[in-house]
Amino acid sequence: YTTDTKSGEENKKTVEALHRLAVDVKKIRRLKEWVLLQDVAYVKEVAGILQEMGADEAAVANIFEHCPEAILHTPAEINSQKALWQLVCQNEKQLIKLIEQFPESFFTTECHENQKANILFLQELGLKNNIITRFLTSAPSIFLNPVEKSKEVIETLQKKYLSLGGSEANMKIWMLKLLSQNPFILLNTSTAIQESLEFLQKNDFSDHEVLQLLSKLKGFIFQLTPSTMQESMLFSKNIFKCSDQELKQLVLECPALLYYSVPVLEERLEGLLKEGVSVAQIRETPAVLELTTQIVQYRIKKLAALGHDIKSGTLESLSGTKKDFEVSYGKIQSKEERPIFNPVAPTRIED
């Protein structure tokens, strides 16, 4: 749909139809006024299809306010999209709930045949429907490419997995796990995948270690280029003043050293140094660089409130997921609160 109309004035019929549905037209004017300027819109028809699926008036208004271009699609396009999403949705109730939450993903109606072919291909691969619906809502772009391209990427990954020593028996599970963690792998080219893996092998990572990194990085390694990985590794080597072999071990322990760009690593390193942490401590627990500076500052503050000084000792208590940190924090807290002697223990009295 083009954004320029002959008159440049709002389509009165569209505005009236939206008002009748209790849609906040001011919101649309702020967001995407061009929708109201179009000569043709299907407000009543699209609303009717959504209501048939179980959407109430408030839900319809909410969908139109957040995704005004929904009203520019023909009823035929909406019905085709509905049939497409029903391939993976349990029922209309689930479908309308998804449309309410992710209207922009649902109203991406271009490349309909590609979308359908990709959905069927992912089902054939063995991906569960609930994972495919997650992709439809959070990564709709992966369905727009011709299915041949998706098949080519999957075949390349399978071949690489086997050539790196992965077993035929585990290949399907590995592939599905990688896809569910990072569907954007499908937007890569076979050449990019090849180059990333060759870079690691040239840097003396064994086949087993390359597979390990692929799993740890959840396939995000394919979104990097050999030159950015090289820069990040060189930066780490200079900071930690280590040999190639030591650097390799650090990367295996903390793949973030490979994944994050130099400016990101620099900022995180500076943040830690400002808090009084030494480079030696970071080298001992490199996983701490996986955390943003804000998270590090928050955790240091919480630990300091318990009287725990991270400048001495390891940074183990700082690193890890939110859950890991809560466990470490709980242990330190109980240690600080524990009485010096056990008041219940019998006191030894000399005769």
Return d(Cα 235, Cα 229) in angstroms, integer. 10
pLDDT of 120 reads 97
The DSSP-derived string for 134-191 is HHHHH-GGGGTS-HHHHHHHHHHHHHHHHHTT--HHHHHHHHHHHHHH-GGGGGS-HH
Tell me what pLDDT residue 218 has. Answer: 84
Spatial separation of the C-alpha atoms in residues 11 and 41, rounded to whole Å = 9
pLDDT at position 221, please?
Answer: 84
| Structure confidence at residue 123 (pLDDT) | 96
- Indicate the average pLDDT of the chain: 89
Q: Is pLDDT at 15 greater than 50 in this prediction?
A: yes
List pLDDT tens digits, range 285-340: 999 999 999 999 999 888 888 888 888 778 888 888 888 888 888 888 887 665 54
Task: Encode pLDDT of 248-279 as tens digits.
Answer: 999 999 998 998 999 999 999 999 999 889 99
Task: Kindly state the tokens that stand for 75.
Answer: 């009823």
How far, in Å, CA of 156 to CA of 163, rounded?
10
Please report the pLDDT score of residue 349 as a whole number: 45
**CA dist., res. 244 & res. 193, Å (int):** 24
pLDDT at 38: 94
Residue 235 and residue 243 in contact, taking contact as beta carbons nearer than 8 Å: no
* Helix, strand, coil tally for the chain in percent (to 5): 70, 0, 30
In this structure, the number of other CB atoms found within 10 A of the CB of residue 38 comes to 18
Is 345 a residue whose pLDDT tops 50? no
State residue 109's pLDDT score: 76
The H helix count followed by the E strand count for the chain is 20, 0
Q: What is the pTM (predicted TM-score) of this model?
A: 0.79
Say how far apart CA 348 and CA 351 lie, in whole Å.
Answer: 10
Q: Could you report the per-residue pLDDT of 189-244, keeping only the tens digit for each? A: 888 889 999 999 999 999 999 998 988 888 888 888 899 999 999 999 999 999 99
Whole-number pLDDT of residue 54: 92
CA gap 97, 92 in Å, rounded: 8
The domains of the chain are located at 12-109, 111-223, 225-336
CATH class, domain 111-223, is mainly alpha
Look at residue 261 in the predicted model and tell me its pLDDT.
Answer: 92
Q: What is the DSSP letter of 7?
A: S
DSSP character at residue 278 = -
pLDDT score at 334: 83
* Secondary structure of residue 36 in the 3-state scheme: helix
Whether the predicted pLDDT of 348 surpasses 50 = no
Compare 7 and 43 and report the one with higher pLDDT. 43
